Structure 1
Amino acid sequence: MRFLSLVLLAVSAAAPLHAAGFDRPIPQAQSATAEVWFAFACLALLAALYAVHWLVTRR
Structure 2
Amino acid sequence: MRLFPVLFSLIALPAFATAYDRPIPQAQSATAEFWYAIACLTLLASLFAVRWLVNRR
Over 3 Å counting, the alpha-carbon distance change for 1:5 and 1:27 in structure 2 is closer
Q: 2:42 corresponds to which residue?
A: 44
For structure 1, the residue ranges without an aligned partner over 5 or more in a row are: none
Mapped partners of 1:16, 1:57: distance in 2: 65
Identical aligned residues as a percent: 62
RMSD: 2.0
**How far is the alpha carbon of 1:23 from its aligned partner?**
0.5
TM-score by length of 1: 0.72
Q: 2:33 corresponds to which residue?
A: 35
Runs of 4+ in 1 over 6 A off after TM superposition: none
For structure 2, the residue ranges without an aligned partner over 5 or more in a row are: none
